[in-house]
A and B are shown apart, each in its own frame.
Chain A
Amino acid sequence: MEDDRISIDSDYIPEPGYRPQMPKRPQKKPSLSQLMVTRSKSPLKLAELQAQPTTGVSMENVGQEENELDTDRIYNTLNHYGSYHDSSNDQSTIRTTPTLTVYSEDDDLANTLGEIISQRSTDLKDNFDHEEQQEKLKGAKQFFILSAAGKPIYSMSSDADHNDDDFVNYNGIIQTIVSSFLVSGSSLKSFVTESTRFTFLNQSPIILLAISKIGESESELMNQLDLLYSFLLSALSKPHIMRSFENKEGFDLRKHLGRADLSGLNLLTKEIIDFNPGLLVGALQSIKLKKSIRDKSRSIMLNKRSKNVLYGMLVAPGGKLINVLRPKSHTLHTTDLQILFSIVFNQAKNHSEDEELWLPICFSKFNPNGFLYAFVKFVDQVALILISADRNCFFELSETSKKIIEDFKKHQIMKQINESLHHGLSTIDIPAPLIYHFIYKSKKHLQYVMPTSTNVTTLQRYYLRLYSSIDRDAKISVSFIKWDNEGKDSNSSIAGLGWVSPNYEVYLITGSITKREVLVNSAKSIVNWCKRYQERLFVCEGAVF
């Protein structure tokens, strides 16, 4: 969001800094023919590729030695590559392929679909609890960030010390893709080989690549790459990145990234891999809270706000929103907040009680050209975040936070929040007894709720499929999917329903009843329940000043 009223700190330009210069090594350039196996039947020799330096293909080089690159060739390379590495095929069968039915309005949906069959819910836990599936997920996904010249910037890795190994392993493919971008100006963003999807985000001078074997679509992977790119911007800001590469195509951006940044990227990629539904549906999770408590915390934040407070947020662990303080004319982008919350709770891991943080952060969707400053204080587990454009007002914000927290305590607000966090949200609360799990997003609030007792990671595959089966161009879209022979008991089935209307999105999963009509009715119950308790479930008004 462009903003002319709120000035941001664009003076703070991260410095290249004090660092011993590394001696320059002459770069060996592998020829493209070495990298690519085009129409030949011989398998791609990965060992050969690995022997090549990672800083390989320059543009001129490519142009001279090979004719124009075409998608076909990349495809071939990847085919070899894919079969070399491929281990897990998606076995799921979609019985009813995504059903896209448009209804006039949402409410009479169940009736439209007729008979409702009631069945007893069985214990579904067993159905979803397959560790095997989790094992499969390992290595089923990879992220790379590199410079347009092909220099590695980041690769997802559980082991920071071996960050480069993955780059070496994937070197051939990465270089091929990068050069195809640059040489042929390819607008290619995504393609599939067998069960593997490759998706790129070209934010020259930075290129991001996602490799996924778990059946995500291009747009989902694109969102994930955008999140990672936004994180880089949050740390460095856009001008800093542009300046770093100015006249220095071969610049190594890792020089400007520290432990904190790698840890932040690792955390985000882990959240993606472990499945954070908020990243999928583009919303923040909110906590259920009595309206009176939410209102009280809102008025306290409003009353105690001091003049340099631009935004304020009260956030529970996991980035769950409790309340927001903001100026009337400005909202913050979900992605910016997801990144902020991720950073804040990562820093919280070993904070001590009275510690207060002062974090410079670039909200790239708000304004990628400068920094805002986030004051953070923890009360129990909950973070109070106050944001200012003035880097010098830490003590003002610190005083403000003390007053806010004092009032919170006086009115038992922290106690209520802790209770709410403790109880969480359960399917038992909702008159849709056959549902194992659901995600409900209120589009207006850009917030979602889901039962908190279930580990949602095991449901990733189903939700991904449901999500991508929805027709996003239609005003209302419903999709029903059934997976046969899933789970430990190979006779059982799993079914899911996705339902998107102009006001909300709901995705639900069940393991016992797989009749579409029943699911539709349950979805309707969830929607009604969430609408009815909207003010408890979501931060509706926020503290607007």
Chain B
Amino acid sequence: MSSNSIRQHTNSEFKRGNKSIITEIQTEYNRIMATNTSPETRFAQFKLVLLGESAVGKSSVVHRFVKDSFDDFRESTIGAAFLTQTIQLDDTTTIKFEIWDTAGQERYKSLAPMYYRNANAAIVVYDITQESSLERAKAWTKELQRQANQDIVIALAGNKVDLESQRQVPKEIAETFASEEGLLFFEVSAKSGEGIKEIFTKIAEKLPLESQLKPNRLQNKGVDLQRPSTNNQKNSCCS
């Protein structure tokens, strides 16, 4: 059964104003969405938070991902910034990230739970040229494991690999920590763009897509039967 036939069906039912039939169709529609038999219908929305010491490059990573740009003189974040980005995971799957880019400055620490509370995923960033920033990343990881959603997907990202000559954190050390804690692990550069897309696509792949589909479709958008497909979203740099 294609979404097209649903649409036709629905239109005529709407005209008759038959509520029970519409409900039935909605149920059917959601079943299709959830079981993913239609190639056009996979759409999911995830909340993602970035944490890490000030100046490790959280905002730079986000802007590379969202705008595909980099700024050598970026202002340090105050409080937090909220951005969204939609990516095409594969031919049939569209993912929208709602991103909280938090301030690394210590005095905002007590506000952090507000941003990670409902997060589906977190990127904990450190700077490979600053040893202390890995310690901070470890502390964030522990806090997330204790306080955030049980099934949150956490990625550890060592940023600024373009500054290889100034490296203070050996890759193996961070990698070992990540695997012990069950984190995704990446070394990236917001400046060169290396590895940035990958963090987000790997996170998306690891997120439980099916469970995201139903609640999002129903709560946020309702089931707009006139236009059942939302995957006409613009492709991003990461598609």
> Which residues of A are interface residues toward B (Cβ below 8 A)?
12-20, 235-236, 240, 256, 258-261, 263, 343, 346-347, 349-352, 354-360, 373, 391-392, 394, 398
A352-B78 contact in complex given A17-B106, A259-B55, C-beta closer than 8 Å: no
Chain A residues, CB < 8 A from B55: 259
Query: Contact at B81–A358, with CB atoms within 8 Å?
Result: yes
Query: Contact at A263–B132, with CB atoms within 8 Å?
Result: no
How many whole Å from B107's CB to the nearest CB in chain A? 3
Query: Contact at A354–B84, with CB atoms within 8 Å?
Result: yes
| Residues of B68-116 whose CB lies within 8 A of A | 69, 71, 73-84, 103-111, 114
Query: Contact at B82–A356, with CB atoms within 8 Å?
Result: yes
Query: Contact at A15–B83, with CB atoms within 8 Å?
Result: no
Which of B71, B74, B79, B107 is close to A358, meaning CB atoms less than 8 Å apart? B79
| B63 within 8 A of partner (CB) | yes
Q: A259-B105, A350-B63 are in contact. List 12 more A-B contacts (CB 8 A).
A: A13-B110, A18-B106, A18-B109, A256-B106, A258-B105, A259-B76, A260-B77, A343-B78, A357-B82, A358-B80, A360-B108, A394-B82
Query: Contact at B109–A398, with CB atoms within 8 Å?
Result: no
| Residues of B125-183 whose CB lies within 8 A of A | 132, 136, 139
How many whole Å from A345's CB to the nearest CB in chain B? 10
Which of B63, B114, B132 is close to A352, meaning CB atoms less than 8 Å apart? B63
A360-B106 contact in complex given A12-B111, A350-B74, A392-B114, C-beta closer than 8 Å: no
Which of A12, A236, A263, A373 is close to B75, meaning CB atoms less than 8 Å apart? A263
Chain A residues, CB < 8 A from B75: 259-260, 263, 346-347, 349-350
Instruction: Give Cα A181 to B132, complex, Å.
Output: 40
Query: Contact at B82–A355, with CB atoms within 8 Å?
Result: yes
Query: Contact at A398–B82, with CB atoms within 8 Å?
Result: yes
Chain B residues, CB < 8 A from A12: 110-111
Query: Contact at B83–A260, with CB atoms within 8 Å?
Result: no
Chain A residues, CB < 8 A from B79: 357-360, 373
Contact with A along B11-35 (1 / 0, CB 8 A): 0000000000000000000000000
Instruction: Give Cα A235 to B76, complex, Å.
Output: 13
Instruction: Give Cα A12 to B111, complex, Å.
Output: 7
B: number of interface residues (CB 8 Å):
32
Q: Which 6 A-B pairs have the closest CB atoms?
A: A17-B106, A14-B107, A258-B105, A259-B76, A260-B76, A359-B79
Shortest Cβ distance from A259 into B: residue: B76
Query: Contact at A352–B110, with CB atoms within 8 Å?
Result: no
Query: Contact at A260–B110, with CB atoms within 8 Å?
Result: no
Query: Contact at B111–A260, with CB atoms within 8 Å?
Result: no
Which of B54, B69, B111 is close to A258, meaning CB atoms less than 8 Å apart? B54
Query: Contact at A256–B107, with CB atoms within 8 Å?
Result: yes
Shortest Cβ distance from A258 into B: residue: B105
| B66 within 8 A of partner (CB) | yes
19 interchain pairs, CB-CB under 8 A: A14-B107, A15-B107, A17-B109, A18-B109, A20-B132, A258-B54, A258-B103, A258-B106, A260-B103, A343-B78, A347-B77, A350-B63, A352-B69, A354-B84, A358-B79, A358-B81, A360-B78, A360-B79, A398-B82
Query: Contact at B82–A358, with CB atoms within 8 Å?
Result: yes
Instruction: Give Cα A263 to B114, complex, Å.
Output: 26
A359-B107 contact in complex given A350-B63, A354-B83, A391-B114, C-beta closer than 8 Å: no
Query: Contact at A359–B54, with CB atoms within 8 Å?
Result: no
Query: Contact at B81–A351, with CB atoms within 8 Å?
Result: yes
Instruction: Give Cα A12 to B79, complex, Å.
Output: 12
Instruction: Give Cα A347 to B84, complex, Å.
Output: 18
Query: Contact at B136–A18, with CB atoms within 8 Å?
Result: yes
Q: Of B81, B84, B103, B139, which is in contact with the most chain A CB atoms at under 10 Å from its CB?
A: B81
Shortest Cβ distance from B83 into A: residue: A355
Instruction: Give Cα A349 to B54, complex, Å.
Output: 18
How many whole Å from A113's CB to the nearest CB in chain B? 51
How many whole Å from B109's CB to the nearest CB in chain A? 5
Chain A residues, CB < 8 A from B77: 260, 347
| Residues of B50-64 whose CB lies within 8 A of A | 54-55, 63
Shortest Cβ distance from B100 into A: residue: A358
How many whole Å from B63's CB to the nearest CB in chain A? 6
Chain A residues, CB < 8 A from B73: 350
How many whole Å from B155's CB to the nearest CB in chain A? 21
Chain B residues, CB < 8 A from A398: 82
How many whole Å from B160's CB to the nearest CB in chain A? 16
How many whole Å from A8's CB to the nearest CB in chain B? 15
Chain B residues, CB < 8 A from A260: 75-78, 103, 105
Shortest Cβ distance from B136 into A: residue: A18
Chain A residues, CB < 8 A from B104: 258
Chain B residues, CB < 8 A from A15: 106-107, 109-110
Chain B residues, CB < 8 A from A350: 63, 71, 73-75
How many whole Å from B28's CB to the nearest CB in chain A? 31
| B67 within 8 A of partner (CB) | yes
Shortest Cβ distance from A237 into B: residue: B107
How many whole Å from B210's CB to the nearest CB in chain A? 25
How many whole Å from B76's CB to the nearest CB in chain A? 4
Instruction: Give Cα A394 to B79, complex, Å.
Output: 12
How many whole Å from B85's CB to the nearest CB in chain A? 9
Which of B76, B109, B111 is close to A391, meaning CB atoms less than 8 Å apart? B111
Chain B residues, CB < 8 A from A235: 107
A357-B81 contact in complex given A18-B136, A350-B63, A392-B114, C-beta closer than 8 Å: yes
Q: Of B76, B79, B103, B111, which is in contact with the most chain A CB atoms at under 10 Å from its CB?
A: B79
A17-B107 contact in complex given A260-B77, A347-B75, C-beta closer than 8 Å: yes
Chain B residues, CB < 8 A from A352: 63, 66-67, 69, 83
How many whole Å from A500's CB to the nearest CB in chain B? 37
Q: Of A260, A263, A392, which is in contact with the most chain B CB atoms at under 10 Å from its CB?
A: A260
Instruction: Give Cα A263 to B105, complex, Å.
Output: 13
Q: Of B69, B81, B107, which is in contact with the most chain A CB atoms at under 10 Å from its CB?
A: B107
Which of B63, B69, B76, B111 is close to A263, meaning CB atoms less than 8 Å apart? B76
Instruction: Give Cα A349 to B76, complex, Å.
Output: 11
Chain A residues, CB < 8 A from B84: 354
How many whole Å from B52's CB to the nearest CB in chain A? 12
Instruction: Give Cα A256 to B66, complex, Å.
Output: 31
Instruction: Give Cα A247 to B86, complex, Å.
Output: 52
Query: Contact at B106–A359, with CB atoms within 8 Å?
Result: no
Query: Contact at A347–B63, with CB atoms within 8 Å?
Result: no
Chain A residues, CB < 8 A from B136: 18
Q: Of B73, B77, B82, which is in contact with the most chain A CB atoms at under 10 Å from its CB?
A: B82
Shortest Cβ distance from B74 into A: residue: A350
How many whole Å from A213's CB to the nearest CB in chain B? 30
Instruction: Give Cα A20 to B139, complex, Å.
Output: 13
Instruction: Give Cα A63 to B119, complex, Å.
Output: 58
Instruction: Give Cα A356 to B80, complex, Å.
Output: 9
How many whole Å from A367's CB to the nearest CB in chain B? 18
Query: Contact at A236–B83, with CB atoms within 8 Å?
Result: no
Shortest Cβ distance from B103 into A: residue: A260
Instruction: Give Cα A68 to B96, complex, Å.
Output: 69
A355-B107 contact in complex given A18-B136, A259-B54, A391-B114, C-beta closer than 8 Å: no
How many whole Å from B121's CB to the nearest CB in chain A? 18
